[in-house]
Amino acid sequence: MRGILGIFFMMTVGLGYAQSIRVDVGLIRSSTVWQVGFNNNYGFEAFEESKNCVALNIGLDYLNKDRFFLMSGLSFYNSGGSLAVYEQEGVNPNTRWNLKNDNYSIPYLGFFTNANFRLFKQNMASLDAVLGVHVDYIVKQKDDAYQTPVRSGLDNPLQELYKYDAVRSVNLGPNLGLRYSLDFKSFTLGLQYIYSPRLRQVAKYEATDDQINGGEYLIGISVTEKASFTQLTIGYNLKNKKI
């Protein structure tokens, strides 16, 4: 909570130096790869298929120069992954999954700072390369009352990971992409694509030798995630100059 308040404080202070305030609305396309191993030398992978969710960014453009400016802001989105057809409950009678629409979500609040480098500009149109960093926090925390359903199979993968203290609630990584925009006197319209990989695994669990020798069936879980954003960008110019 202190970190979130600190971010809002920095953005409030930064408002005095900002050239524009911007809202980005669009889709995040994400996939997670679950690797699960058991002590009978059996393992499987799951959730490799991609899913789409709505993503919203709110931020400030500042330090605007002819060919360069910065943007910092907050992101609100769900990521996660989908089951392949052969993993779905109605197709594979041995599956452990019992998920609505055969996917699950990870709710995030993120903070990002992107440097925009102007590659091309003609009249109102411009093309920028985007390079930055993001820090993301999983909003939904552990539910101590959660129990794995016995008959219907696993219906909440994120909470199952919390049972093993496997979830890494904070993650980070680079932002890489392109932004095409039209600059008007008081506002801008644009379209951007940002690839945002995670440098850390979303979840990691390894059973100890004592646990395995004591009969622990599950010996390991790892979850990696990939995500990309495609968004419409709308900016309002606070200084009444083209940006």
Instruction: Give tens-digit pLDDT for 36-63.
Output: 888 777 777 888 899 999 999 999 988 8
Q: Is residue 160 one of the residues assigned to a domain?
A: yes
Q: Does residue 209 belong to any structural domain of this protein?
A: yes
Give a yes or no: residue 20 inside a domain: no
pLDDT of residue 17: 62
The whole-number pLDDT of residue 43 equals 75
> Does a structural domain hold residue 7?
no
Which strand (E) or helix (H) includes residue 2? helix 2-14
- Residue numbers of the domain that contains 32: 25-237
Mean pLDDT over residues 234-238, rounded? 88
- Which of 12-16, 93-97, 145-149 has the weakest average pLDDT? 12-16
- For residues 53-72, one letter each, b for 16 or more C-beta atoms within 10 angstroms of the residue's C-beta and e for the rest, the string is bebebebbbbebeeeebbbb
Task: Please report the pLDDT score of residue 9 as a whole number.
Answer: 46
Helix (H) or strand (E) holding 51: strand 51-65
Interval 59-86: pLDDT, tens: 998 888 878 899 999 999 999 999 888 7
The predicted pLDDT at position 26 comes to: 97
Mean pLDDT of the chain: 85
| CATH number reported for the structural domain that contains residue 64 in this entry | 2.40.160.20
Does 226 reside within a domain?
yes
Residue 99 in domain: yes
pTM: 0.84
Q: Cβ atoms within 10 A of the Cβ of 46, count?
A: 21
Give the separation between CA 207 and CA 219, rounded to whole angstroms: 5
C-alpha dihedral (125, 129, 134, 139), degrees to nearest 10:
40
Average the pLDDT over each of 23-27, 91-95, 100-104, 163-167 and give the range with the smallest value.
91-95
14: which 2 tokens? Answer: 């930064």
In a domain, 58, yes or no: yes
Residue 9 in domain: no
At residue 241, the pLDDT reads 54
Average pLDDT over residues 123-152: 85
Structural domain count, the chain: 1
Average pLDDT over residues 130-156: 81
